[in-house]
Amino acid sequence: MVFSSITFLFYFLPIVLGIYYIVPNKWKNMILLLASLIFYFWGEPKYVLVMIASIISTYIFGILMDKYKKHSKLFLILSICVSAGILIYFKYMNFLIQNINLWLTNKIDFIYVVLPIGISFYTFQLISYTIDVYRGQAKVQKNIFKLAMYISLFPQLIAGPIVRYTTIEEEIENREYSFEKFALGVRRFVIGLGKKVLIANVLGELTNIFLTTNDSSVLFYWMYALSNMLQIYFDFSGYSDMAIGLGKLFGFEFLENFNYPYIATSVTDFWRRWHISLSTWFRDYIYIPLGGNRVSKVKWLRNIMIVWLLTGLWHGAAWNFIFWGLYFGILLIIEKVILGKYLEKLPKILSRIYVLVIVAISFIIFSGDGISQILQNIGGLVGISTKNIVSAESLYYFKSYFVVLLIGIIGATPIFKNIANKEKLSKFTNILEPIYLLLILVICTSYIIDGSFNPFLYFRF
């Protein structure tokens, strides 16, 4: 089940909200747990058992760490090994077999396994909970149902943000409800739905057209690069918005996951703004424990490359994801060692163009199907893969998708937000907002009912 579906919007969510607000407070966590298990079971009937087994394992090791503090490090290591081992088996085993087979005469058979939806997200939550308990930054949760509710909480289960236990530890026990908070949740959810259905999905159509056409003009390559990076942003940030909005409906405050990354003035700045819950997770649980930048220069550079190798692998079991991670790792090192001081002196417009080109290329790598296709698509941006600058077909699609591309470009900046927040316009926007949100919901519903293109890129993670 996905948020941008009729089943979720008009059956699952209204029913769950109705029951949730009817029952006494002491039963609300149990209702959320049952709803979350049903939500996951809807799309992954058998793999819900994998998630439950992971939760039970983490719960037991948490209790053991709390009870036998002298051996807490051992239980921490065992807990991480179990959680990471399950992730490796389901996500990376066939990738490992495939690469090992390149060196073997007698090939190893592939295993039949389907990647459970959201396993990368909930595994990182399990690991962060265990580490925080070990560090004393979180109290061990002795009620397994409350821990299970935190891990399986459906608003953030399949696409994040990666919500740490410490963020909602207090809210698991006591949550505040208000009409204002509920209204903000609805607003945030509808905006996220609009970003997903009306921008990401439409731009996804354009990227698919490029991948299936024989047109190879420079214009089309740039249209693909632009639509691809905007699709990924609006798809993922739209889901994050919906998750944050849903969290508010149920009394939770999830941290922001995106902060207008396409206005960044450096790659370092970009990763402070993009998928914040993931980048801070790697910072706090991998980079800093390795020594961060408080070690020798060689080890510091090593730490950066380890983090970005793992970041690439987290996104998928394929070489393009590994190259994508290493690409950012190398660029970050170059910025920190050489380019940083020069970027600070550049006019912001130039530094932003630099970042946008870097990111556009990165997402060509991210979305690529093989090295040859990746190199061809990158080469096409500068005319290496084609002799045509413009074609009749590329002009046709440029005109057809110009409006949504323009909306996507403007929407990826805080322009709309800044205009809406101006004091002179605030009264006007407050009156129009309910109409605007209702219109988005109606149009999105029409698109979904029509069976329009409605993929979800992060299902594979």
- The C-alpha torsion from 175 through 180 and 185 to 190, rounded to 10°, is 170
Token pair, residue 352, equals 């932003």
> Measured between alpha carbons, how far is 52 from 44 in angstroms, rounded to an integer?
12
**Catalytically annotated residues:** 315
Mean pLDDT by 10 residues, the chain (461 residues): 90 96 95 96 88 96 95 96 96 93 88 89 96 95 96 91 94 92 96 95 93 87 96 96 97 95 96 96 97 94 96 94 96 92 90 96 92 90 85 92 95 87 70 89 90 59 55
> Measured between alpha carbons, how far is 224 from 265 in angstroms, rounded to an integer?
23
> Measured between alpha carbons, how far is 71 from 65 in angstroms, rounded to an integer?
7
> Measured between alpha carbons, how far is 370 from 254 in angstroms, rounded to an integer?
36
User: What is residue 46's three-state secondary structure?
Assistant: coil
> Measured between alpha carbons, how far is 250 from 195 in angstroms, rounded to an integer?
22
8 A C-beta contact, residue 164 and residue 282: no
- The C-alpha torsion from 214 through 217 and 219 to 221, rounded to 10°, is 60
* DSSP state at residue 116: P
Distances (CA, A) of 277 to 18, 57, 135, 256: 30, 24, 19, 8
Which segments of 68-199 does DSSP mark as H helices, in order? 72-101, 119-135, 144-152, 154-157, 165-173, 179-194
User: What is residue 109's three-state secondary structure?
Assistant: coil
- Give the pLDDT of residue 449: 87
Which segments of 368-391 does DSSP mark as H helices, in order? 371-380
> Measured between alpha carbons, how far is 351 from 357 in angstroms, rounded to an integer?
10
- Give the pLDDT of residue 216: 80
Q: Which residues, at least 6 apart from 143, have a Cβ–Cβ distance to it below 8 Å?
A: none
- Give the pLDDT of residue 458: 54
- Give the pLDDT of residue 204: 93
Which segments of 250-347 does DSSP mark as H helices, in order? 267-273, 276-282, 297-315, 319-334, 340-345
> Measured between alpha carbons, how far is 359 from 354 in angstroms, rounded to an integer?
9
* DSSP state at residue 356: H
- Give the pLDDT of residue 455: 64
Token pair, residue 435, equals 């109409």
The 3-state DSSP composition of the chain as helix, strand, coil percent (nearest 5) reads 75, 0, 25
